[in-house]
Amino acid sequence: MSEFDAVRTLANQEVDYAIKMIPSFADLFRKQTVDFERVGVQRKADFYLGAAWVTATNFFAFDFTKNFKRSPTMQENMIIMQAVYTKLPELRKAISDLGIE
């Protein structure tokens, strides 16, 4: 497996992990009062989508550095962005399955 393939695999794993975390985001924010207007989102679902996006990209940066012993390049960061974008339907479904609109 080339390093490029390994980076793509890692990116997809991080997005899958973020999808699994969506119920935890929902539990956390249902227990707190979140002023969605102040945050600047119109739909709660978009707030959770943003949380999943950040989770995937943050864990990617952390695990990439741990696995490859260096920070990701701009091109490698674009791989995680593409992975998140490609899996948007799965992210949105996980949010929708919780009844978050």
pLDDT at residue 63 greater than cutoff 90: yes
Q: Would you list the domain boundaries of the chain?
A: 3-96
**pLDDT for 52 beyond 90:** yes
pTM (two decimals)? 0.86
Given a contact cutoff of 8 angstroms between Cβ atoms, the answer to whether 59 and 17 are in contact is yes
Per the CB < 8 A criterion, the answer to whether 87 and 19 are in contact is yes
Indicate the burial class of 8 (C-beta count within 10 angstroms; 0-12, 13-18, 19 or more).
middle
User: Percentage of the chain surpassing pLDDT 70?
Assistant: 100
24 Cβ contact list (under 8 Å, min separation 6): none
One-letter amino acid identity for 71?
S
